[in-house]
Homo-oligomer: A and B are copies of this chain.
Amino acid sequence: MSLEHECISLVPLFDQLTHEDKKTIESIVHQHHYQPGETIFSAGDSLDALMIIASGQVKVYQLAENGKEQLLYLLQTGDFEGESALFSQATRQSFGEALLPTAVCQIERSDFQKLMMQYPSISINLLNEFGNRLSKLEKRTTQATTSSIESRLADYLVETAAGMQVTTFKLPLKKKDLATYLGTTPETISRKLKDFEDQGLISQGGGKKITIEDGDALTLIN
């Protein structure tokens, strides 16, 4: 099974299509590979392709005027990125950087637009995905402006654990990156994690390992 094929079956975007149709799409996919630390795209780049992560991990971030970094998304295998839209702004607002060895499948803008006109189900799947992202981002914005760092961190820990369906896990990010994700600094994260540990809400093992000891209490933190 080719990796191009992988891409198409990885994302739910093309779920409704027949095997036949998927094969057609596979033929218009291009692949690229990136090393950790490598930049995949930058703000100002023209936006001319939909990108699907076939394997690896990509951090998507923006830079504020003051140079501060804001981590927007952490893309995993099967996630895709076409900036906010393949349609509106022709130029990117964000940066993408590989955190692991990463393979990316691309579909050209014009090819993808043709696909959408031909298979309305793709648009609807895409709308679904955008809707979800919008909801999540709305929640994040609300949290960022109304809750304390403590509360945001607690929420992140609980959600991350829940997403992996475990209570012990390794933070998928460096503290620096996690800090920009939550809108704080590595120092504050260290301190808050220690607080949580002192209160018996979590325990920390060496090397970014964290065990949730009392998820309910974490959720209640304000």
Count this chain's copies in the assembly.
Answer: 2
Q: B147 contacts A144, CB within 8 Å?
A: no
Rounded to whole angstroms, the CA-CA distance of A139 and B89 in the bound complex is 14
Q: B89 contacts A135, CB within 8 Å?
A: yes
Task: Tell me the A83-103 residues at the B interface (CB within 8 Å).
Answer: 83-89, 93-94
Known A72-B138, A93-B135; contact A87-B145, beta-carbon cutoff 8 A: no
Rounded to whole angstroms, the CA-CA distance of A59 and B30 in the bound complex is 44
Which range contains the number of A residues in contact with the other chain? 35 or more
Q: B85 contacts A145, CB within 8 Å?
A: no
Q: A135 contacts B70, CB within 8 Å?
A: no
Known A117-B120, A137-B134, A141-B72; contact A127-B85, beta-carbon cutoff 8 A: yes
User: Using Cβ atoms and an 8 Å threshold, which residues of chain B touch A138?
Assistant: 62, 72, 84, 93-94, 137
Rounded to whole angstroms, the CA-CA distance of A65 and B84 in the bound complex is 28
Supply 25 A–B pairs (Cβ within 8 Å), ascending by A: A62-B138, A62-B139, A64-B146, A65-B147, A65-B222, A70-B146, A84-B131, A84-B135, A85-B127, A85-B132, A87-B124, A87-B131, A88-B131, A89-B131, A89-B132, A93-B135, A116-B124, A117-B124, A127-B130, A137-B138, A140-B141, A141-B141, A141-B144, A144-B144, A145-B182
- The 0/1 profile, CB within 8 Å of B marked 1, for residues 146-162 of chain A is 11000100000000000
Q: A144 contacts B146, CB within 8 Å?
A: no
- The 0/1 profile, CB within 8 Å of B marked 1, for residues 109-123 of chain A is 000010011001001
Known A131-B83, A132-B85; contact A66-B123, beta-carbon cutoff 8 A: no
* A78 within 8 Å of B (CB atoms): no
